[in-house]
């Protein structure tokens, strides 16, 4: 039986005779404890997923923004290539994307989408 006490719990085991507390049972007890912990974690994750079905999308965008943040302090071209590969960062509802606009004869127009 587990009694919740704030953010921790106290587990109370029944008083058993020494014949029950044998070392050969330790592996089975450990497996049961691990399976119980895994089942509890899975139940919590499933409950949270039902509350927030967009968690995976937010995690994906967090990783993209972290990567972009690392590129912003460097040269322009890697940042440009990253944004070209991930245009949804700038506009999730984009219809078309122009990679670079012509500026005189220096850069040619490249349109995707």
| Alpha-carbon gap, residue 96 to 67, rounded angstroms | 23
Give the pLDDT of residue 109.
Answer: 47
User: What is the DSSP code string of 54-98?
Assistant: THHHHHHHHHHHHHHHHHTTS-HHHHHHHHHH-GGGT-TT-S-EE
60-88, pLDDT tens digit by residue?
Answer: 999 999 999 999 999 988 988 999 899 88
Task: Give 46's pLDDT tier (boundaries 50, 70, 90).
Answer: confident
**What pLDDT, in 10s, does the model give residues 25-41?**
889 888 998 999 999 99
Reported pTM: 0.47
Query: Which tops the pLDDT comparison, 102 or 49?
Result: 49
Tokens of 26: 């330790």
**Closest of 100, 104, 102 to residue 112, by C-alpha:** 100
Residues 6+ positions from 111 with CB-CB distance below 8 Å: 96, 97, 98, 99
What angle (nearest 5°) sits at the alpha carbon of residue 54, between those of residues 42 and 57?
A: 105
């Amino acid at each position: 039986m587990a009694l919740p006490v704030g953010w921790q719990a106290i587990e109370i085991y029944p008083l058993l005779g020494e014949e029950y507390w044998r070392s050969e049972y330790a592996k089975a007890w450990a497996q049961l404890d691990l399976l119980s912990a895994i089942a509890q974690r899975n139940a919590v994750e499933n409950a949270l997923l039902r509350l927030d079905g967009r968690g995976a999308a937010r995690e994906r965008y967090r990783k993209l923004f972290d990567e972009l943040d690392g590129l912003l302090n460097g040269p322009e071209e890697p940042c440009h290539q990253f944004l070209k590969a991930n245009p949804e960062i700038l506009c999730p509802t984009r219809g078309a994307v122009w990679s670079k606009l012509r500026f005189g004869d220096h850069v040619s127009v490249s349109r995707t989408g």
